[in-house]
Amino acid sequence: MGKVYIVGAGPGDVDLITVKGLKCIQQADVILYDRLVNKELLEYAKPNAELVFVGKLPKLHGVIQERIHHLLVHYANEGKIVTRLKGGDPFVFGRGGEEAEVLANANIPFEVVPGISSGIAAPAYAGIPVTHRDLGSSFAIVTGHMREGKDDSINWKGLAESVDTLAIYMGVGNLQYVTEQLMKYKRNPQTPIALIHWGTTAQQKTIVGTLETIVEIAKNEEIKNPSMIIVGDVVKMREKIAWFEQTQVQQSLLQEVSV
């Protein structure tokens, strides 16, 4: 009998993998990895490790979830050490809970290795703390992706009225609906909102607006997924502490000077 490690690879910056997560990559016989995993992490795999891409594009699932479940059970039953490498944290909208349940039902040993979630890391790299003593004392993680054919079960009223900061995953395609719901339930239309595209990577791009203006701004800037949406007064802090993108600009200028 083999063993499966369900590992969070972090939000994109290769240096944000945990020590234990890196060990799981190094010892794996098989690595099943997702689309948003930084491919540089695969360079730490053993030379003879089998690398299996199981990523799913939005609305174009390359490998359905049931197939992933089958592969996890199949490789483990062959006696192999399997690392299931997922972007961010496996239990934050990563379907890691479903995969762990399948392994438990099959009596296959497994461990879960948490990863740094994009809902915290992307805003941090954009200079936005999700909590701040003066600007936000509550924080919620929300999905912005509604399953096709299913009613929206998100309590937008509660989120609008009771939570200071919202980190919304997979919501760019439903941005207009999200902003409309929050304003419908009396969230101030002037509430700051940020969209962070490819957070923590060299491609990171951040745009800022309000609930009232962000849809048009995002359209003009052609912001796509993967992007985090951050709603709340904490977005105001970006003006002072947007450290990562400033560092990127400084490094670019230094490179130009050296050339």
Enzyme catalytic residues: 34, 56, 170
Q: Are 51 and 31 in contact (CB under 8 A)?
A: yes
User: What per-residue string of b and e applies to 22-33 under the rule 16 or more CB within 10 Å gives b?
Assistant: bbbbeebbbbbb
DSSP for 152-214? ----HHHHHHH-SEEEEES-GGGHHHHHHHHHHTT--TT-EEEEEETTTSTT-EEEEEETTTH
Secondary structure (3-state) at 226: coil
User: How do strand 165-169 and strand 110-113 relate by DSSP bridges?
Assistant: unpaired
Tokens of 184: 């419908």
Strand partners, 106: none
